[in-house]
């Protein structure tokens, strides 16, 4: 299967269950693996026959700008939007992580959700 990977997208956004998280914000990272039929792009060498990385980045940025309580909800929204914009996407894998999530009495590098939709 063919796919396009975009790794290490970094955003500052306002997501979380706690009100403080939605006020102060945090750093989030996004990795995507977009499974698609890329045979047309292979033959034509034309951007309109594939997935435009810049447009993908802008869609992710747009979705991360809308506050959510749950990473699961946010990840689902990102993939839904990408599939609507790029019908060539057959399925998508997303890894969405919140860096240094607030944990009472503890320290954690990140909390992440990984989904294949």
Helix (H, G, I), strand (E, B) or coil at 93: strand
Q: Check if the beta carbon of residue 64 is closer than 8 Å to that of residue 74.
A: yes
Q: Which residues are catalytic?
A: 98
CA distance 11 to 77: 16
- In whole angstroms, how far apart are CA 54 and each of 17, 57, 70? 30, 5, 26
What is the C-alpha separation between 85 and 72, in angstroms, rounded?
20
């Amino acid at each position: 299967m063919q796919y396009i990977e975009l790794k290490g997208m970094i955003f500052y956004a306002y997501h979380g269950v706690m009100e403080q998280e939605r006020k102060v914000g945090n750093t989030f990272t996004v990795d995507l693996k977009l499974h698609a039929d890329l045979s047309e792009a292979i033959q034509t060498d034309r951007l309109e026959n594939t997935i435009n990385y810049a447009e993908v980045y802008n869609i992710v940025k747009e979705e991360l700008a809308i506050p959510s309580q749950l990473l699961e909800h946010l990840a689902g929204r990102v993939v839904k939007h990408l599939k609507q914009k790029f019908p060539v996407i057959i399925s998508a894998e997303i890894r969405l992580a919140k860096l240094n999530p607030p944990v009472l009495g503890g320290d954690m590098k990140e909390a992440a959700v990984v989904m294949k939709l």
